Chains A and B, each alone.
Chain A
Amino acid sequence: MTRALITGNAAAAWGARLARADYVPAFPITPQTEIIETLAGWMDAGEFDCRLTLLESEHSMLTAAGAAAASGVRVFTATSSQGLLYAMEMIYAAPGLRAPFVLVNVSRGIQTPVTLEPDHNDVLAARDSGFLQLHCATCQEVLDSTLIAYRLGEDHRVRLPAIVNMDGFYLSFTREPVEIPEPAQASRFLPAFDPETTRFRAGSPVSQAVVVLGGSPYSYFRYEQHLAALRALEVYEEVAAEFAQQFGRHYAALETYRSDDAEFVFCMIGSFATKARDAVDRLRESGQRVGLVRPRLLRPFPAGHLRRAMAGKKGVAVIDQNISLGKGGVLHAELASALYGQRDAPPVLASFIGGLGGRDIGAEEFYEMIAVTRAAHEQGQTPEPRLLYTADELREMRKLQAIAHAERTERKP
């Protein structure tokens, strides 16, 4: 085991290397590019026995990834934002092949307008695809989750591809101390790829991804994928336990932080949850019983874990770093569907949208969210969803708009 100061992107590359991926179909996009450059560098230096093929688009990249996985090799790939959206047809098509592989998504906001900075609308567009989703909060978690994702997806009871998600910039370009397992140790945890019966070779013909006629066979195969994804929940527990035994780092499907005796909890995914952790500590110092609940596994959705973690709480502040335009926060809606009508469900489920396009969520905002949730509990009513935006930001925005207006009018003859 080596300890190194590496970025989230490098951690993802290490995950692929330690997983002994055979094949990396790739296409560059900011902020993911460092992952494929790192892998390419190792291959060129002869340190990593793997084949890299640069495709001409993410759509083709995902097609090649699914086709190669269905042909019997261990596949790793990575993308981000518009790339994930461009590949979306194949993101939805790949899980039905029941050929597992791992895709690292480096979350970045999607257009319009264009941004390079993170939020989760990209990866949530893949929410209903059949890909398993593991969401990371640290660079160490990125490396470890990549290994876990292979074990999970390749398990006989699952056989589905998985997305490991990290936030662009906040993790992708941030160096953190990361323990890099020894290859032998990684091999013990993740054995050689077993394609089972999913492969193409002369003498044993297979037809894959064929047409079905009628809703009955279609429903059957779709239900099978769904049930396999649900089974991944219990398989995850086994895999995470084994990972903890071998590496000493335990990754629960649902991370809880000081939430056992909390009256109010934050619920959110991704690296911004580390900011919430800080806020929890400060609020605790001021005598407030506050905690944090972070789903690490978003697909399958750990509904039972969430019910247990939320039982008896007075209120939950759900922070969505995404926005379903015309509806609101995606995680909020998911959580509500898990909690509604359950005994001991928190009476208040407050929705906050923040951190879009890399916008920071400040400590004061975390305190305010708890204050709003507490007040809502006292009034006995869940408040209207809030879009986080400060008066200072609005002032700065007005200045930009004034400049834009001046530029536009000056150009007029």
Chain B
Amino acid sequence: MSDATVTVYKRMKDLPSTHLLGAGTAMCAGCGGLQALHEVYDVLGENTIVVNAAGCMTLLSVYPFTPFRGSWLYTSMASAPAGAQGVRDALDIQLSKGRIQPEQDLQVVVLTGDGAANGMGLSATSAAIERGLDFIYLCYDNEGYGNTGQQSSAATPHGARTSTSTGPRGFAGYKKDLFAIWAAHRPAYVATVIGSEPLDLARKIEHAKSLKGPRLIIALSPCPTGWDFDPAQTVEIGRLAVKTGLWPLKEYEDGRVTHTKLPHPRLPVEEYLKLQGRFDHLFSPSRNEALLAEIQARVDAYWADIETTGA
């Protein structure tokens, strides 16, 4: 995080105590995505327009209700960043022609799941970044097509059971590195966050808000229904995702990647995996030592350089 940002979020008690996003939505109990969205929206505020792609959160705004105090535009699964482009361009045109006042301007926020972000929406996102679109992209990453029953997506981790990978080895693919793909476009800002680390999240959103251009955020979103765990454990699982090093909290700015939280000591990945039904087959009827070791080794390899250099 650049030194230029003087954060108002120094301690947990600095975080907003009342939430802007209304309650009573159609999200599942314990939704980690909604937890992150609450925290993000508290920082961004109501002078926003949320441009949504098909996914779980499309069901936030169901006629005639919405939990948002600001505006909302649903687009399609593939083209939310293009919708954001249209809104941003229209606002800029009206500002430059004096048809609206600067105080009527809006922060344009794309909100999609990992399915849209990693799959059919990636082309529209790539193009929006390349055009330098002034927007914030929030991807709630629950590692599968959650709204349709947790089919595998490009963000599904290796070995996880999904409704389209139910065999003893789970999902054969590897989670796509969307952070690296986004960062390779050299946008203004990229960050990973998680709702269970609200201070880290608030600082990053606060920083993103202070910047112009493409700012992209991935929030790992523990999903009780898709990952198969008790909704009461959402926060704990989120914390373990960070403590085991499986979900590195980091940010990209000015060509550099910085880790904002170094998990030390790193807990074994199975502390995280064993709480989730989607990884049950790694532990019963017998422990799949090979697969557990493979997952651990990939995490170790990721952190090897970072822990030595402290970067």
Contacts and interface: CB of A to CB of B under 8 A. Distances in A.
Interface in B80-98: 80-87, 89-94, 97
A66 B83 CA distance: 8
B89 A64 contact: yes
B90 A53 contact: no
B208 interface: no
Contacts, number: 156
Nearest to B127: A56
A25 B82 CA distance: 10
Nearest to A211: B62
A210 B72 contact: yes
Nearest to A221: B63
Contacts of A22: 90, 93, 97
A211 B74 contact: yes
A66 B72 contact: no
Interface residues of A, number: 40
Given A53-B89, A64-B83, A201 B100 contact: yes
A1 interface: no
Which residue, A25, A49, A53, has most C-beta atoms of chain B within 10 A?
A: A53
B288 interface: no
Tell me the dominant secondary structure on chain A's binding face.
mixed
Contacts of A60: 78-79, 81-82, 85, 123-124, 127
A63 B79 contact: yes
A208 to B, nearest CB: 5
A377 B89 CA distance: 58
Nearest to B90: A71
Interface string A62-82: 011111111111000000000
B234 interface: no
Interface in B85-141: 85-87, 89-94, 97, 99-100, 103-106, 123-124, 126-127, 131
A213 B62 contact: yes
Given A59-B79, A202-B104, A53 B131 contact: yes
Contacts of B63: 210-213, 217
B131 A209 contact: no
A25 B86 contact: yes
B126 A56 contact: yes
A211 B58 contact: yes
A335 B16 CA distance: 63
A283 interface: no
B61 A67 contact: no
B66 interface: yes
Given A64-B86, A202-B103, A202-B106, A209 B79 contact: no
A371 B73 CA distance: 56
A326 interface: no
A206 interface: yes
A64 B123 CA distance: 14
Contacts of B127: 55-56, 60
B86 A65 contact: yes
A93 interface: yes
Interface stretch (B45-53, B262-270, B271-279): B45-53
Q: Contact residue range for chain B?
A: 35 or more
Contacts of A266: none
Contacts of A90: 75-76, 79
Contacts of A103: none
Contact of B73 (A51, A70, A202): A70
Contacts of A209: 73-75
Contacts of B75: 63, 67, 90, 93, 209
B298 interface: no
A23 interface: yes
A61 B90 contact: no
B131 to A, nearest CB: 7
Contacts of A67: 51, 73, 75, 82-87, 90
Interface in A182-203: 200-203
Nearest to B123: A56
Contacts of A57: 123-124
B59 interface: yes
A89 interface: yes
Contacts of A63: 75-76, 79-80, 82-83, 86, 124
A15 to B, nearest CB: 19
Contacts of B261: none
A413 interface: no
A216 to B, nearest CB: 11
A2 interface: no
A208 B73 contact: yes
A56 B87 CA distance: 16
A175 to B, nearest CB: 32
A22 B58 CA distance: 30
A205 B124 contact: no
Contact of A210 (B62, B86, B93): B62
A49 B127 CA distance: 24
Nearest to B108: A200
A210 B83 contact: no
Nearest to B66: A207
B191 to A, nearest CB: 24
B133 to A, nearest CB: 9
B68 interface: yes
Contacts of A66: 83, 86
B82 A205 contact: no
Which residue, B49, B66, B80, has most C-beta atoms of chain A within 10 A?
A: B49
Given A206-B71, A211-B61, A217-B63, A72 B90 contact: yes
Nearest to B99: A72
Interface string B27-41: 000000000000000
A212 B104 contact: no
16 contacts: A25-B86, A57-B124, A60-B81, A60-B123, A63-B79, A63-B80, A63-B82, A64-B82, A67-B73, A67-B82, A67-B90, A202-B104, A202-B105, A207-B68, A208-B74, A217-B63
Interface of A: 22-23, 25, 49, 51, 53, 55-57, 59-61, 63-73, 89-90, 93, 200-203, 205-213, 217
Given A207-B66, A211-B62, 6 more contacts: A56-B82, A67-B82, A201-B104, A205-B69, A205-B71, A211-B63
